Structure 1
């Protein structure tokens, strides 16, 4: 059986199961408590959804679902027993908990770090077979001269929690190791599909073993998987379905804007205008959203995480965007607000941020 490595100390999972190891740090102790419950065969777990697309809620997840998720990921990457894992995600959330589950199910050694902006700044010259990060962590690792070279020391790295920007995908694709963007949700206990990071603007997501995809009439993705709570899960994700095992993600149905009878998916527009925003507001978050409009029904708006800018700069930004998107998708209004509201797992909470404009 593998072990958990905390502050350089290697603790066998067998010792965690008996409760013979305790930590004075509350974060590490709650991770140990979860591992102990898992190792003693607990059958159900309460998990919090992130709240990025709705109100956070508590759901009950069965052990068998989490086992299926760990098994599917292990098969996808052909992870062998005794592998070395890096866990740098919040273990109070599903993504971090699943890193612990993978370690226990794969008989792996798991280095456990607190979730910080640049996790590789906390390690020495260690190499890892597998790890998971959120896009912000990956960006900070790449931007730091001392850690950017360490990224290649992770054989398989999955990125989840939020979509990667086109610029980040391009930068990550320059590394020789295998980096994947994930697709999943708390209801499917982590990811059900993975897309290899490369130069393509619309990455293709491939199903984990045992997962199948379908689609509703309005193009929403339907998931059938052993890690889901139900055999058929209808999502609010609009996709281009390639086969029952592959799709291209378009955006969230609940974020869609109906402007003059034309349906616009904000995430598509956000990718298209990225070059302009990176040039004008480098490093700033932004997103497209809709507001009620007497003529159009909804008008397209752009919200940027920044202080108020001049009218001329906003007009110039609008003209640059016009060259990149269809006439229906050009923002009719610009808003500036900082900081954006985020969820407990670090995702931008669009609804809560928009509500602050009122």
Structure 2
């Protein structure tokens, strides 16, 4: 590296120290470890994203420093983990969302199965990603996205996927409940078969392209399965696009596919509550620009459920197991 490049790095480092005085030393140690191949790009990316939330100055300096890493190979690995650069836009919660006209398109795929296109604004997508990763990476949450391997490295708790099981109250205020209520109302406008729901539980899943899924049904109260009137699953998509496959029995030789993009919401309830489904594919390179640097490169899926009187067996985490009066729920995740 020539003298001019070294001087640029030093100036960037001093500016970054001023922007994040309490976190600078830790971030610097991670960056050095990354260049020595002792720290994974995901670990450094998570720290960079967290530090960038301090201010727009912090985000700008972290982004510049990432682009100035001496090794092109390391820069490329870090870009992939970040899904691009660390954006300088601040975190925006739902309560302060700038209201604007939204082109929400409701697609009725089947009775009880509705896709709301572009339902979440850019601000809401950023907010949901920000809060999900805050919870998923927090030391206060024992059931976050990550677990420690035998060598001390952080890894996703389901191999190619990370999962949390939370209540809607884990998210600030009533924002997630309000989003669910809005989504249900929008779906009911185009589908009379869509029931009401009371959010009680949410599964938050994060995964990258290449993650593997089995065909499955989502857990439900055995008493409601035959009634075909179960409250809907409300599934929010943020990040990379994915192909969602569904059919009405495991034996069906064919299935339907709907592509879910960042900002889309899928609801399945009533006669479609017990569809057999799977994520068939996550599209590489589909991370929208407004989320690059706001979350790890991948897909975040927040599914909100109404489990009624169901009881979650937390000892089975990260598996999701629910029972009703001691009887295991029908379906599995």
In the superposition, the TM-score normalised over structure 1's length comes to 0.27
In the superposition, the TM-score normalised over structure 2's length comes to 0.28
Higher strand share: 1
